[in-house]
Amino acid sequence: MARRTVSMTQAQDPYLWLEDVASERALGWVGARNADTEAELAAAPGYAPLRARLKTILDSKDRIPYVSLYEGRCYNFWRDAGHERGIWRRTTLDEYRKPAPQWETVLDLDRLARDENENWVWAGASFLKPRGGRCLVSLSRGGGDAHVVREFDLEGLAFVADGFNLAEAKGGASWIDRDAVFVATDFGPGSMTASGYPRVIKAWKRGTPLADARPVYEAREDDLSASAWFDYTPGHERQFVQRQIGFYSSELFVREPGSGALTKVDKPEDADAFTVRDQLLVQLRSAWEAGGKRWPQGALLAIGFKEFLDGARDFQPLFTPTETTSLDGIGVTRDAILLTVLDKVKNRIVELRHEDGAWRRREVAAPGMGALGVSGLDEIASNEYFLTVTDFLTPSTLYLARAGSDERELLKAMPAFFDAGPCKVAQFEAVSTDGARIPYFVVMRKDTRMNGANPTLLYGYGGFEVSLTPFYSGVTGEAWLARGGVYVLANIRGGGEFGPRWHQAALKHRRQQAFDDFLAVAEDLAARKLTSPEHLGIMGGSNGGLLVGAALTQRPELFGAVVCQVPLLDMRRYHQLLAGASWMGEYGDPDDPEQWAYIGKYSPYHQVGRHKRYPRVLFTTSTRDDRVHPGHARKMAALMQEQGHDLLYWENTEGGHAGAANNEQTATMWALTYTFLWQELTRKSSPKA
Strands (E), 142-266: 147-153, 158-159, 166-169, 172-177, 180-184, 200-205, 214-218, 225-231, 238-246, 249-255, 262-265
In sequence order, the β-bridge partners of residue 88 are 77, 107
DSSP assignment of 37-51: HHHHHTTSTTHHHHH
Whether the CB-CB separation of 180 and 212 falls below 8 Å is answered with no
Q: Helix 543-554 and helix 512-527: axis angle, to 10°?
A: 60
Strands (E), 491-557: 536-541
Whether the CB-CB separation of 244 and 223 falls below 8 Å is answered with yes
H/E element, 57: helix 47-59
Whether the CB-CB separation of 489 and 459 falls below 8 Å is answered with yes
SS3 95: helix
Backbone angles phi, psi at 512, to 5 degrees: -60, -25
Pairing between β-strand 456-459 and β-strand 536-541 as defined by DSSP bridges = parallel
SS3 519: helix
In sequence order, the β-bridge partners of residue 493 are 495
In sequence order, the β-bridge partners of residue 175 are 181
C-alpha to C-alpha distance for 69 and 608, rounded to whole angstroms = 50
Provide the annotated active-site residues. Answer: 542, 657
Cis bond before residue 556 (omega within 30° of 0): no
Handedness of CA 34, 645, 656, 3 (dihedral sign): negative
Pairing between β-strand 423-431 and β-strand 437-445 as defined by DSSP bridges = antiparallel
- Give the neighbor-by-neighbor strand order of the sheet with 262-265: 225-231, 238-246, 249-255, 262-265
**Distance set, CA 359 to CA 70, 287, 538 (Å):** 29, 22, 45
Q: Helix 543-554 and helix 593-602: axis angle, to 10°?
A: 70
C-alpha to C-alpha distance for 69 and 130, rounded to whole angstroms = 11
Where does residue 237 rank: exposed (0-12), middle (13-18), buried (19+ CB within 10 A)? exposed
- Give ∠ CA 254-259-265 in degrees, rounded to 5: 15
Neighbours of 641 (CB within 10 A): 13
With CA atoms as reference, report the closest residue to 346 among 370, 368, 327: 370
With CA atoms as reference, report the closest residue to 529 among 355, 348, 400, 689: 689
SS3 230: strand
